Amino acid sequence: MTRRTRTGVILAIGLAACALAAPWLAPYDPGRQFSAYPFAPPMRPHVIDAGGSWRAPFVYPMRLVDPLERRYEEDRTRMIPLRWVSGALVRVDGAEPWFALGSDALGRDVLSRVAAGARLSLGVALLGTVIALAVGAAAGAVAGYAGGWADAALMRVADLVLVLPGIYVVLALRGALPLVLSPVQVFAALVLVFSLVGWPAAARGVRGIFIVERSEEYAEAARAVGAGPMRVIGRHLLPASLGFLYVQATVLLPAFVMAEATLSYVGLGFAPPAPSWGAMLQDAGSARGGADAPWLLTPAIAIVMSVLVVQLAAPARDPLLWPADNS
Amino acid sequence: MPRALACALLLTLGTACRSSAPSSDDAKTTGPVRGGTLVASLRSEPRSFNRYVDNSAAADTTDALTQARLVRINRRTDELEPWLAERWTSAPDGRTFTLTLRPGVAFSDGTPLSSADVLFSFAVVYDPKLQSPLASGLRVQGKPLQVSAPDASTVVVTLPAAFSPGLRLLDNLPIIPRHQLEPAFKAGTFGDAWGLTNGPGRMAGLGPFVVSDYVPGQRVTLTRNPHYWRKDASGAPLPYLDRVVLEIASGQDAEVQRLEAGSIDLMSQADLRPQDYATMKRLRDRGAVTLTDVGTGVDPNVLWFNLATTQPSRGYLQKQEFRQAIAYAVDRDAIVNSVYLGAAVPVYGPVTPGNRLWYSENAPKYPHDVARARTLLAGIGLIDRNGDGMLDDQSGAPVRFSILTQGGNIRAQTATVIQEQLRQAGIAVDVVPLDFPSIAQRWMSGSYDSIYYGFQASAMDPAMNLDFWLSSGSAHVWHPEQGSPATAWERRIDELMQQQIAAPRIDDRKRLFAEVQKIFGENLPGLYFVAPKVSIATHLRVGGAEPVLLDPKILWNPDTLYVKDGASAPQR
């Protein structure tokens, strides 16, 4: 494993840990609204007070000066100490909130929502990607190794799904389900829908690799020493497809995150107030987030980081995964 | 009128009679300038230029620019003004009006206007095969007006019943050219006339502009009507502008960005969202735009429950106490502060304080009081039975309902605040953001718990909005088109509104309508929370704008709009 891959894996584990630990990381319930603090900017922790003295980490409370202009001022006459590990990793006591990454249009803490949203958005996208790749790899392996009618049948089904416009298929499939679903049901439905839409591309790629690799000397040698089809596929041919599957993962993961955003936007994904990253980005767009409240783009940064982590974790130069390089 | 049309239709919520004079911070101008092009945005693609068949905002905008009525309601003063009819007399019964057409008025193709065109317009709008969306606004107690023409310049209009607003009804009817459209009408193809392909360059209108070009997805170009009849105070012919270009923008974000970039002069559906205000204020401070505070909006969003379809397992959804509890449980100030950034006022009924003439201070109000809400809910058997903090009904099922609303805008945000507030009161709410067609489809089929939506107000006088108030109305959204009133309070409102529209004295009408608002506020078929403060931004080069609360907020007087750099400005 290369250093880059190792870094990627560590970051991926860290990301997953953050998602799992979201309730502990988030200072507030992601749905909690501080209606007096819409579009509050991030509140920077301080260790030096206005008089120049060192203090334990604290923040200055924010005061809304002009609601329509969304202008806040720090109230430097008071300090609110940050408390470590008291129900959440870091939080403040009292009625006044601390927005480490700012607040959104309804005064909800962006950090809490991004942390909670990681579970939903990454969970849906990751699980959808894994299942799509697993199904695609299995179908591609069978089609590529067996050939004949199995290949024809599986690839016609894959072609059928591929030629359908993906987003409309997703919309139609989700639209066929009841309008009001619990978050768990929405999660399961989205994973199912994404898996259905995502497997054909993986299947076609794996099939192509299998068709090439099954006649290579190492595969022939394996068969010559008595390896059965399952061993040849599992031990020899499937590893040859892993590089492609990693690349597919880096394509499908962000696509599914954005598909979840689109579905949430049209009312077929997670319903408010579920803090999915996609729904948060939609809010940011309608609130001119990029210009007036750039902290609302935090979910976009989270999505980019997630994709980067996946790409880092993909062992691009591993000779086992890229046999062509080895040759 | 079909419900689909009613839903998309302008709900005139009996709102303010006189909008306040705009408190503009506009720079001083030096007077109207002739020539030049005004560029406005159009938020949606037009489906047709035929207002008789298309009720969309795009059709409404082009209609305001290209057509004219017999009489006009001045949107700023709310006075009835002579327009194509230069004067009128009324019979002692108050139901028959004799209108004299203005001499020398001609359509944009040069054909003189005559009473035959007026008769033709009425014949078309009442044609049952056409199902014109304009027809409902031209009926009194469901019956059409009787119209005759003793000569070429005289029209006699008889109302089927006493109706205090009288000729105000005629503001709903653009007069169309018989000589151009009669063949299509007789052939049964009127609905296809003045379409997107056969309209531009061929439509003959009485308004200040004619549609000369349409590029799908990009723009509608209108040029000066050479035969337009109005003149300004100095006797100079109107309109001042040579051209109006309506740039089609996909969404309000794109509109704001274009206004910010200076590529448009105004937004035809003009009011600013709260989140746009900071940007516009910066532009104003840089001297790029004029910001005008017009007043409190007259068409607030409404949450209504499905009172037409009984759900035995959740009968509480139809109980008055349940709706009253919601009215108490929602903190309107929280919505004002967060969703509207302070640019709104709490309201409790369909008639807002922006409606100075018809608003009643005596209508019930529901200050934020969660304890009172819980008491009301306990009174109908909704209490926390399992200690989870949420209410349950008698069978132990959690108290829960869904709100359908439009996704991606301020309505969805408000619904989310309502959801959180009701959660604190122990009521679980599922917010379901949908697009408008999906909401309309579910409304028409009755498959919904509640809907949070808004309708565009098109008139101030409640008598012009009987479709909303009467139980038989198609826009009686919580239980439309009832054969007979389903409840005693709806029967009472029906009676009061019938008296109200027939009462000759304005004081009597106000008293009766105040009683209607009181009954409405007690029974709450619709729950109202906030009304936005309306702010309008126009490019600094725009002159003659008199923004009002009713749509089209700026383009209602297109013939006196001008651009300050006039014809000297580069063509855009």
Binned at pLDDT 50, 70 and 90, residue A11 comes out as confident
- Three-class DSSP labels, B210-237: EEEEEECCCEEEEEECCCCCCECCCCCE
B200 lies in some domain: no
SS3 B526: strand
How far off is chain B from A183, nearest CA to CA, in Å?
11
B334 lies in some domain: yes
- How far from the centroid of its chain's Cα atoms is residue B498's Cα? 22
B201 lies in some domain: no
| pLDDT higher at A4 or B365 | B365
B402 lies in some domain: yes
- What gap in Å lies between CA B332 and CA A93, rounded to an integer? 27
CB A317 within 8 A of CB A311: no
Q: What is the mean pLDDT of chain B?
A: 90
CB nearest A68 (choices: B253, B274, B416): B274
Residue A47: which H helix or E strand, with range? Answer: strand A46-48
B544 closest CA partner among B105, B91, B232: B232
Chain A positions touching chain B (beta carbons under 8 Å): 31-33, 35-36, 38-39, 67-70, 105-107, 179-180, 265-267, 271-273, 282-283, 285-288, 291-292
CB contact under 8 A, A265 and B432: no
How far off is chain A from B281, nearest CA to CA, in Å?
8
The pLDDT of residue B568 is 61
How far off is chain B from A143, nearest CA to CA, in Å?
41
**Residues 491 through 510 of chain B touching chain A, CB cutoff 8 Å:** none
CATH code of the domain containing B459: 3.10.105.10
Q: Is residue A299 classed exposed, middle or buried when 0-12, 13-18 and 19+ CB atoms within 10 A define those classes?
A: buried
- What gap in Å lies between CA A51 and CA A37, rounded to an integer? 27
- What gap in Å lies between CA A90 and CA A111, rounded to an integer? 11
Please report, in angstroms and rounded to a whole number, the separation of the first and last CA atoms in chain A.
Answer: 19
CB nearest A267 (choices: B275, B277, B407): B407
How far off is chain B from A67, nearest CA to CA, in Å?
5
State pLDDT tens for residues A117-147. 988 888 899 899 999 999 999 999 999 988 8
Query: Does residue A325 register a pLDDT over 50?
Result: no
Phi-psi region of B94 (alpha: psi -120 to 50; beta: other; left: phi over 0): left
The pLDDT of residue B279 is 85
A24-45 residues labelled b (16+ CB within 10 A) or e (exposed): ebbbbbbbbbbbbbbbbbbbee
User: C-alpha angle B568/B564/B273, rounded to 5°?
Assistant: 125
Which residues, other chains included, contact A168 with Cβ-Cβ below 8 Å and sequence gap of 6+? none
The pLDDT of residue B95 is 93
Counts for chain A of helices (H) and strands (E), in that order: 14, 6
The pLDDT of residue B8 is 40
CB contact under 8 A, B432 and A287: no
CB nearest B337 (choices: A31, A38, A287): A38
CB contact under 8 A, A292 and B343: no
CB contact under 8 A, A180 and B339: no
Q: What percent of chain A has pLDDT over 90?
A: 24
How far off is chain B from A181, nearest CA to CA, in Å?
9
Contacts of A35 in chain B (CB under 8 A): 331, 333-335, 337-338, 417
Which residue, chain included where needed, has tokens 């077929």? A268
Q: Which ipTM did the prediction report?
A: 0.76
**Residues 261 through 280 of chain B touching chain A, CB cutoff 8 Å:** 274-279
Tell me which residue range forms the domain holding B462. Answer: 302-531
Q: Looking at this protein, which amino acid is placed at residue B25?
A: D
Q: Which is it for strands B219-224 and B143-144: parallel, antiparallel or unpaired?
A: unpaired
CB nearest A68 (choices: B331, B342, B407): B342
Chain A, nearest residue to B252 by Cα: A286
The first and second tokens of residue A113, run together, are: 């929502």
User: From first to last of its 572 residues, what are the pLDDT tens digits of chain B?
Assistant: 344 434 443 333 333 333 334 444 444 446 889 999 999 999 888 899 999 999 888 888 999 999 999 999 998 888 999 999 999 999 998 899 999 999 999 999 999 999 999 999 999 999 999 989 899 889 998 899 999 999 999 999 999 999 999 999 999 999 999 999 999 999 999 999 999 988 898 899 999 999 999 999 899 999 999 999 999 999 999 999 999 999 998 778 888 889 988 899 999 886 888 888 888 888 999 999 999 999 999 999 999 999 998 788 899 999 999 999 999 999 999 999 999 989 999 999 999 999 999 999 999 999 999 999 999 999 999 999 999 999 999 999 999 999 999 877 889 899 999 999 999 999 999 998 888 888 999 999 999 999 999 988 778 899 988 889 999 988 999 999 999 999 999 999 999 999 999 998 999 999 999 999 999 999 999 999 999 999 999 999 999 999 999 888 899 999 999 998 876 655 55
How far off is chain A from B192, nearest CA to CA, in Å?
31
Q: How many domains does chain B have?
A: 1
Q: Is residue A303 classed exposed, middle or buried when 0-12, 13-18 and 19+ CB atoms within 10 A define those classes?
A: buried
CB B298 within 8 A of CB B460: yes
CB A270 within 8 A of CB A188: no
Domains and CATH numbers, chain A: 43-98 (no CATH), 113-326 (1.10.3720.10)
CB contact under 8 A, A69 and B277: yes
Query: Around Cβ A74, how many Cβ atoms within 10 Å?
Result: 16
B49 inside 8 A of chain A by CB: no
B361 lies in some domain: yes
B285 inside 8 A of chain A by CB: no
Binned at pLDDT 50, 70 and 90, residue A217 comes out as confident
CB contact under 8 A, A271 and B253: no
- What gap in Å lies between CA B536 and CA B548, rounded to an integer? 9
CB contact under 8 A, A267 and B432: yes
Listed in sequence order, the DSSP H helices in B92-177 are 115-125
Contacts of A183 in chain B (CB under 8 A): none
Contacts of B338 in chain A (CB under 8 A): 33, 35-36, 38, 105-107
The pLDDT of residue B6 is 43
Which residues, other chains included, contact B539 with Cβ-Cβ below 8 Å and sequence gap of 6+? B259, B262, B264, B265, B266, B288, B289, B290
State pLDDT tens for residues A67-107. 888 889 998 888 888 887 666 667 777 778 899 999 998 99
The first and second tokens of residue B33, run together, are: 């300038």
CB contact under 8 A, B432 and A271: yes
Query: Does residue A320 register a pLDDT over 80?
Result: no
SS3 A243: helix
The pLDDT of residue B572 is 58
CB contact under 8 A, B341 and A38: yes
Per the document, the length of chain B is 572
B407 inside 8 A of chain A by CB: yes
B29 inside 8 A of chain A by CB: no
A66 closest CA partner among B525, B538, B341: B341
Cβ pairs bridging A and B (under 8 Å) = 97
Distances (CA, A) of B476 to A104, B123, B534: 36, 27, 26
B251 inside 8 A of chain A by CB: no
- Dihedral sign from CA coordinates of B511, B515, B520, B522: positive
The pLDDT of residue B305 is 96
CB nearest A31 (choices: B407, B420, B434): B420
Q: Looking at this protein, which amino acid is placed at residue A259?
A: A
B227 lies in some domain: no
Contacts of B435 in chain A (CB under 8 A): 266-267
Give the CA-trace dihedral at B141, B143, B145, B147, to 10 degrees: -160
How far off is chain B from A219, nearest CA to CA, in Å?
54
Query: Does residue A324 register a pLDDT over 70?
Result: no
- Three-class DSSP labels, B405-432: EECCCHHHHHHHHHHHHHHHCCCEEEEE
B416 lies in some domain: yes
Query: Around Cβ B388, how many Cβ atoms within 10 Å?
Result: 10
Identify the DSSP state of A233. Answer: I
How far off is chain A from B430, nearest CA to CA, in Å?
7
Contacts of B279 in chain A (CB under 8 A): 288, 291-292
The pLDDT of residue A327 is 40
- What gap in Å lies between CA B417 and CA B399, rounded to an integer? 18
CB nearest B433 (choices: A267, A288, A291): A267
